[in-house]
Amino acid sequence: MNQVIFRELGLVPYKQAWELQEELFADIIAIKRHNKHHPEHSRQSFDYLLFCEHPPVYTLGKSGDLSNLLLDKERLDVLGIEYFKINRGGDITFHGPGQLVAYPILDLAHFFKDISRYMRTLEEIIIRSLRDFGIEAGRLKSATGVWLDPEDPFRARKICAMGVRSSRWVTMHGLALNVNTDLAFFNHIIPCGIADKSVTSMEKELGTPPDMEAVKKSFKKHFEEAFLCQLQEEKTEDEKRH
């Protein structure tokens, strides 16, 4: 069974988490290149799952439209919201406290070489996790992410946004599930560039804030089942020394 290193980052600035992802992503690709050219001295690469929350930030994917950000830089500064143009797929989204942000840094050669299947697998993990809390969710045709009432064009609303980058079958970036998120931040953007659909959260749907740790536990369980892997908590530096 594949082992995936799990790392809980806590509340961390977006740029810091992005740089960490880039570092892990580059390390895996470097090992793959090495192994391709030096099979007699092959090295082991590791897969990772990172959990975190971010201070308020808007991120725009590489094919996104800046006009979907409805604030200028001055207003962003006043509101204390960061903005980054990044190298994932998708358009604009918001990250902030009360979200479960998950960044799988995986070499899909260890699992399955199919990006579409990878995206559908991430969606399925969220769908199953939400079901654990009594929320029925699904997919909206031609739109990535997880939605509630996707079959009803007047009620469809997104609860989880997704956007990834991949190279040589290695993934980075990931998903953001609105758990107890302040949804007012979405009023300043056209989320994912879809103007006629709204955004929701687990708290809004349930009428009470769910326990974030319980949501994380559910996600990890379904992640292990979906990817047929075992998550291993990363040891702290003190634990490694002992």
Catalytic positions are 192
Binning the chain into helix, strand and coil, the percentages to the nearest 5 are 40, 30, 30
Q: 124: burial class by Cβ within 10 Å (0-12, 13-18, 19+)?
A: middle
Alpha helices in 64-200 (DSSP H): 73-79, 115-131
Distance of CA 25 to the CA centre of its chain: 15
List phi, psi (to 5°) of 6. Answer: -100, 135
Neighbours of 214 (CB within 10 A): 13
Q: Rounded CA gap, 137 and 149, in Å?
A: 7
Residue 62's alpha-carbon distances to 84, 88, 148, 158, in angstroms, are 10, 6, 26, 21
